Amino acid sequence: MITLDDLWRRGREFLGVQYPIIAGAMTWISDSSFVAKVSQAGAFACLAAGNMEPEKLKSEILRTKMLTSSPFAVNLITIAPNYLYHLDLACELAVPFIVFAGGYPRQAEINLTRQSGAKVMAFAPTEAMARRLIDNGVDALILEGSEAGGHIGHVSLTILIQQVLFQFREVPIFVAGGIASGRLILYFLLMGAAGVQLGTYFAVTEESRAHPRFKEALCRAQAKDAVATPQVGSELKVISVRALRNRGLEIFTDLQIELIQKRKRKEISHEEAQALVENFWVGALRRAVEEGDVETGSVMAGQSVGLVSKVRPLREALLSLISEVEIEWQWLQQKLGLS
Ligand SMILES: Cc1cc2nc3c(=O)[nH]c(=O)nc-3n(C[C@H](O)[C@H](O)[C@H](O)COP(=O)(O)O)c2cc1C
């Protein structure tokens, strides 16, 4: 008969950690210290390269390697200005995993990563993209539903599960977006997921370096408060961000309107306007996470925010998930008459 260990096995072996639960990269939060703490607790962590200066990323990778002997990933934003430097660095420093986020890795970038010995993970927002990424050699996929915090796609996890998880068995698939309970994790494992990725849930742990006001805002918020940013018109490409509704979101809408008007008056190039849109988030997230500006900063969070209400030590938060998985497994076995 199938055991819970059987359900955990694929993800556990792929990631090389006790629990195939990924603390998703969170720019300004997922630094070397946080990664090491997640690893020490038995889960899998991602160092967020964000928009870091390459030298800073280098020292963060080296520091992570010093602090933990467990495998970890470096999360690279393919649209970040220093992306190609980041990629070279991560490969040179032989990090065990690279997660490509923000866009898709090109074939040459996947090849380079694999040659360095790192395993490649990438986000698959559609069935066609999942096929292409697998054919191009990625080792695992992440399915992130639009319930998630941070930059998001438009499709919910329920749909991605049917379009991608149920269609592809050849590589491990980790699911993300809206997860904050072990009960749900069990059902994803039963559906064929190799594991899960959580962001918001780990952002409110004691070890997260987010400002106390950031964590407090997350603890107070309800699921409906984590909203996706609107795109004004179609002139500028806006990758939606899910964050708590605040004045920062209004400022962002105003910024888009102002940039569109400037474009009409030909006062700014499309590239400049686009860069201002993206830079808005980098700066706004930093202000919220580091300075605790939860009014005009960007308090990025998933709808899972409605399921977190207190700041806890990371290990306690992780073990609570694991014990919920186990309790639900017992319950399910009884319900099915298997125990
Ligand atoms: C504050 C914050 C920052 C994030 N930054 C990144 C990032 O730099 N790179 C990335 O791939 N995902 C980023 N994410 C997404 C998370 O890694 C994760 O996939 C997401 O939070 C999952 O949804 P959940 O918050 O409902 O658990 C961020 C999420 C949050 C909440």
pLDDT tens-digit profile of 21-35?
A: 999 999 999 999 999
CATH of the domain at 198: 3.20.20.70
What is the arrangement of strands in the sheet containing 150-151, beginning at the earlier edge strand?
150-151, 241-244, 226-228
Residues 128 and 272 grouped into a single domain = no
Of the pLDDT bands very low, low, confident and very high (cuts 50, 70, 90), residue 171 is very high
CA dist 159 and 88 (Å) reads 35
Residues 222 and 206 grouped into a single domain = no
- Number of the ligand 1 atom closest to the C-alpha atom of 177: 23
Residues 147 and 68 grouped into a single domain = yes
Residues 111 and 244 grouped into a single domain = no
Mean pLDDT of the chain: 96
197 has a pLDDT exceeding 90:
yes
Rounded average pLDDT over 149-161: 95
235 has a pLDDT exceeding 90:
no
CB of 176 closer than 6 angstroms to any ligand 1 atom: yes
279 has a pLDDT exceeding 90:
no
CB of 27 closer than 6 angstroms to any ligand 1 atom: yes
Is the CB of residue 130 less than 8 Å from the CB of residue 141? yes
How many angstroms separate the alpha carbon of residue 302 from the centre of ligand 1? 8
Q: Which residue range is the domain that position 167 belongs to?
A: 4-210+307-335
CB of 75 closer than 6 angstroms to any ligand 1 atom: yes
Structural domain includes residue 69: yes
CA dist 82 and 79 (Å) reads 8
Of the pLDDT bands very low, low, confident and very high (cuts 50, 70, 90), residue 77 is very high
Is the CB of residue 293 less than 8 Å from the CB of residue 186? no
Rounded average pLDDT over 47-55: 96
Structural domain includes residue 298: no
Residues 205 and 227 grouped into a single domain = no
Residues 68 and 142 grouped into a single domain = yes
Higher pLDDT, 279 or 217: 217
Rounded average pLDDT over 308-329: 98
CB of 299 closer than 6 angstroms to any ligand 1 atom: no
Residues 118 and 228 grouped into a single domain = no
CA dist 129 and 11 (Å) reads 21
How many angstroms separate the alpha carbon of residue 86 from the centre of ligand 1? 19
Token output for 295: 């009014």
Domains in the chain, number: 2
- Number of the ligand 1 atom closest to the C-alpha atom of 24: 17
Residues 54 and 198 grouped into a single domain = yes
CB of 50 closer than 6 angstroms to any ligand 1 atom: yes
